[in-house]
Structure 1
Amino acid sequence: MDRTPKLKSGGWRRLRPLRHDQRGSVAIEFSLLAVPFFALLFAMIETCVIYFATSNLDSVVANAGRMVRTGQVQAAGLSAGDFKTMICDQVTLVSDCESGLYIDVRNFSSFGGVSFLPLVDENGNLSGNTQFQPGGAGDIVVVRAYYSWGVMSPGSVGLSNLEGGGRLIASSVAFRNEPFGNMLPSGG
């Protein structure tokens, strides 16, 4: 039995005006364009926030490096945890700084001897291979801080560079410690 609706004679003539009816076309066009538009808008906003977070980390690492360079960290006897807490107190936009931020401070005898261990392992995960060696007067020191920023944009829109959809935010500073030897307390 044929269940398709049958148009009575002249039925096609009654449907002809609907072909030219424009009502609802704006809603259909908006629904087609809204998803890509808002995805692109959200990715642009997130790119700006990532840029701000990177800039903030650069500033904080430069300030922390200045404290190492001038011997303030060594004179105060700060541990790796104290140094990390000092940095976390200044960093904004990092939700879980104490467990998500990695701080690597290493000293070298010359700038030619500086070697950088990779921040990301072969699987695309952050490497936790860090040390805390602020060095003495005249030593070459590299201070690095890094963490994974959780990308929220749909499809990551090219923002993700870590396994699991994160973005590596990193900052480093290299310098020669000042001759602060006479500033340290005796026995330091």
Structure 2
Amino acid sequence: MLHTPTTQSHPNSLNLTIPHLTHLFTSQPTLPPHLKPHIPQILQTLLTHLDSPPHISLLTPLFILHPPTKSMALRKGVLDALVNCIENKCGMEALEALQAFLVDYCEGCEVFEQGALEKVCHILVDSRTEERLRHKCIELLTVYLAPTPPKTTLEKQHTLEAFLGPRFVKRLVKGLESLL
């Protein structure tokens, strides 16, 4: 327990007791054990309803809390479906799910580069794209640029420059470096 001492200068201050919460920052988040056997069915159900923002939003925590879901999603063509959802009413949710999908997943990055990357870049530069969606595309590209072995940021930078030009991509990389 963390105790906050009272001080003489504040006679009305309270002695607060705050529970020790460091376990929240030192352990990996996981799905409850009773859900793990049902992941394939959950994923299949979500995939049949990808036109609905609430269903797409559920993919994000699934990708984060249960990394094997990423490889299942890859086999089922989720990446293409998510990219197709960006241009409709589910754009923000689809981009957030794609971000969660790309984090620490090199196989996902390779598949993302095979078509989804170009489509996201096209959406980013399209003058009809709303500003919030454009910002979310930039967030996604920043996640994409993070090094995921065996690819380095520099290799990804060259791939991205083919779609967005070196000047813009260098600014993205500079922003990423300031975060790392």
TM-score by length of 2: 0.24
Structure having the larger proportion of residues in strand: 1
Structure having the larger proportion of residues in helix: 2
| Larger gyration radius, structure 1 or structure 2 | 1
